[in-house]
Amino acid sequence: MPIADDLASTSMTISFGIVLIAAFLGLQQWYERQARESDLSDRDRHYFFRQDVRRGMGVAVMLMLAAGLSIGARIAPRVNGRANLTFVEFWLGVIGLLVVLIILAGLDWLATRLYARRQRRSMARERLELLRDAIREAAATHSDPSGGMEQGPE
């Protein structure tokens, strides 16, 4: 049965790759959390907490997928000439984990997009306030008590 052995070794290689990716993503998230500022607003703290949960769940699902691939490749699809119900159920579970991973990625993308939009708007408001203050200062320093008209040399 060289095909089954080949499938098992291929699934182990893919599983190992997924484990490496999950470990990299988990470490990256850990380093990001350690470098995060501690004086965040409540809204930012809530966003980052939810982000940590989403990404932690993503790493956990990836590890379960890796285990599922390595185990699933060893389950025979047919037993006694009939379909193996365990094989079908197991691979439906693996497909379900893939769907969960895609949903988590989509939710993370959407949350990051909304967070970035909120930050851009906040920076734009801050810029406008600074410009208004600068204009007021410039107007105050250039105004003259005689009605704002400066007289030049004659």
Question: What per-residue confidence (pLDDT) applies to 50?
Answer: 94
pLDDT at residue number 1: 45
* Domain assignment of residue 149, yes or no: no
In a domain, residue 142? The reply is no
Cα–Cα distance for residue pair 57/72, rounded to 1 Å = 21
Q: Domain count for the chain, please give it.
A: 1
Under DSSP, the state recorded for 81 is T
Specify if 144 maps to a domain. no
Amino acid at 60: A
Does some domain include residue 145? no
In a domain, 14, yes or no: yes
Domain contains 83: yes
**69: exposed, middle or buried (C-beta count within 10 Å: 0-12, 13-18, 19+)?**
buried
Residues in the chain with pLDDT values less than 70:
1-5, 144-154
What pTM was computed for the model? 0.76
Closest by CA to 57, choosing from 12, 118, 116, 111, is 111
Q: Which residues pair with 82 in a beta bridge?
A: 79
